[in-house]
Amino acid sequence: GAVVSQHPSWVICKSGTSVKIECRSLDFQATTMFWYRQFPKQSLMLMATSNEGSKATYEQGVEKDKFLINHASLTLSTLTVTSAHPEDSSFYICSAGFEEREAFFGQGTRLTVV
């Protein structure tokens, strides 16, 4: 299957700083990538859809100025959590795939804001 690589796998940052998470499709070109957030014991929550060469589409309730998404190439999307606060601590996962096939997930990033 297709491979999606996410980096870093975990990060600890101070409150008020920004953190960038990268998501790469290693063996295919992804015009669309998806960013999810998952709190403990809860299911995946779609945050935004990242579109190559255009602005991301954010889900209702997700602050686009706080969660900056850039999809500069067909193999790379980045999520930057700006001015992070402890309530932003969560598991962030990206995925990519094809319309009629399964989604492939990155390894996930465990963000802890202290």
Partner 1 sequence: GQNIDQPTEMTATEGAIVQINCTYQTSGFNGLFWYQQHAGEAPTFLSYNVLDGLEEKGRFSSFLSRSKGYSYLLLKELQMKDSASYLCAVKDSNYQLIWGAGTKLIIKP
Q: Based on CB atoms, which residue is closest to partner 1, 82 or 108? A: 108
Q: Based on CB atoms, which residue is closest to partner 1, 76 or 82? A: 76
Site string for partner 1, 22-41 (x = CB under 8 A): ------------x------x
CA–CA–CA angle 65, 13, 6 (5° rounding): 75
- The residue whose two tokens read 């935004």 is 48
Q: How far is the CB of 93 from partner 1 (least distance, A)?
A: 5
The pair of structure tokens assigned to 44 is: 């995946």
How would you classify residue 65: left for phi > 0, otherwise alpha for psi between -120 and 50, otherwise beta? alpha
Q: Which of 12, 44, 55, 64 binds partner 1 (CB under 8 A)?
A: 44
Q: How far is the CB of 56 from partner 1 (least distance, A)?
A: 14
- Would you say how long the chain is, in residues? 114
Regarding 100 and contact with partner 1 (CB under 8 A), the answer is yes
